[in-house]
Every structure is written in C-alpha cells, then in structure tokens.
Amino acid sequence: MRYHRRSLGAKYRPLTAKTGVRFPVGAKDGTCDIAFRAAYPSRAADFLFSPPYLLIEGAYLVEARMTLSGPAEVDAAGRKIAATKGTAYAQYLARNLKQAEFVLSDDAFASFRAGGIDAVAGIRQPLVSYAAANPDIRVLAERFMEISQVVALTRGKLRAAGFVGVTIEELKASGFVRGALDRSGHADVLVAPAAAGS
C-alpha cells in the first residue's frame, strides 16, 4: 500500500481484521476499497482479483508414527481430515476430497488432539511451527493445494484493477515482493510466477 501511495500521491488508512469477513462488509458500506486476501473462487462474483503476488501452500499435519507420504494417501476411505471453518483450504477440501471424511472444526488442532482425526489441513508455515514444538507429529512434504494471495477490489473498478495488476507484476519482477517476504521472516513463502502475457 505504501508503494501505491507513493505512485499515486494518495492517502490511505490501513484496516486490519482477524478474518476476511470485514472486507465484503466494508466494500458494501464504503469503508474499504482494496484488500490483500486469498482468491477464494466463491468471491470472484463480487470482487476483481489482481494477479497473485504470492502462493501459500496447503499441507497436512499427521501423527509422526503414520506412514502416510502424500495427499493421495490421506484422501482414502476410512480417514478423517479436519480443517478450520471459513478458510480457503476448507472450501477447497469440501469441493475436492474424494474418499476421506471431511470434518469442519472451530479449532482443527484441538479436534486432532482429541482423537479420531487422521490429518489436519492448514497453511504450511503454522503447521511446521506447531510440529516443531510437538515431536509426535509431522507435516507432509507434498502440498495438497496452493492458495493464491491477491489484491481484491470491488467489482466495477476496472481502471483501478488494471493499475493494481500492472503494479503487482512490476513488484514481483523487481524483487520487491521477494525482499519483503525475506525481511519479514517468510523466506519459505513462494512468490507467484509472472502472469501470462506480462
């Protein structure tokens, strides 16, 4: 946002929220114009998305003693996979799991620890941190999905969306996004590749 402000000579007021619910509400009442968020397919009808600027991996956390090696083995008959309600990966799993039972939870980690859950789905970095403090569990190396992080604008702002899209591509190509991730301690997060035709 500071980059946009310098480019446009505009003022901005950052707003924070614990969940992505605030932006749809703010977009309707005029308090929010732009947001950094996951590109949920369910949001595409209401918002314009920039090209992704980074990719977050969805991964599975399992008990260390289990011999599972990848997502295909987790999605098997008789297994239960838990995910926290309202997340991008929960929406993805609800659409794409073929055999495993999907369990929505207010706290997927608590459900896992309570027993009866074979795997927890989540963003890789928090799962890795949790596993590092709990040697009885591990995170599978292979991801089950990629979550594209984008800049979202309310529909109808086509001119603004075009400017944001060009800016995102410039920031990725210049190394700005990679540098910002590294400086903030997120060297393991992937920068999205250049958009087709950019």
Q: Is the pTM of this model over 0.85?
A: no
Structural domains of the chain in order of their starting residue, each with its CATH number = 2-54+148-191 (3.40.190.10), 55-145 (3.40.190.10)
What pLDDT digit, counting tens, does each position of 51-107 carry?
999 998 999 999 999 999 999 999 999 999 999 998 888 988 999 999 999 999 999
Q: Convert the chain into a string of H (helix), E (strand) and C (coil).
A: CHHHHHHHCCCCCCCCCCCCCHHHHHHHHCCCCEEEEECCHHHCCCEEECCCCEEEEEEEEEECCCCCCCHHHHCCCCCEEEEECCCHHHHHHHHHCCCCEEEEECCHHHHHHHCCCCEEEEEHHHHHHHHHCCCCEEECCCCCEEEEEEEEEECCCHHHHHHHHHHHHHHHHCCHHHHHHHHCCCCCCEECCCCCCC
User: With a cut of 70, which residues of the chain have pLDDT below it?
Assistant: 1-32, 197-198
**What is the reported pLDDT for 134?**
93
> What integer pLDDT is reported at residue 29 of this predicted model?
58
- Which pLDDT value is given to residue 16? 64
**pLDDT value, residue 58:** 93
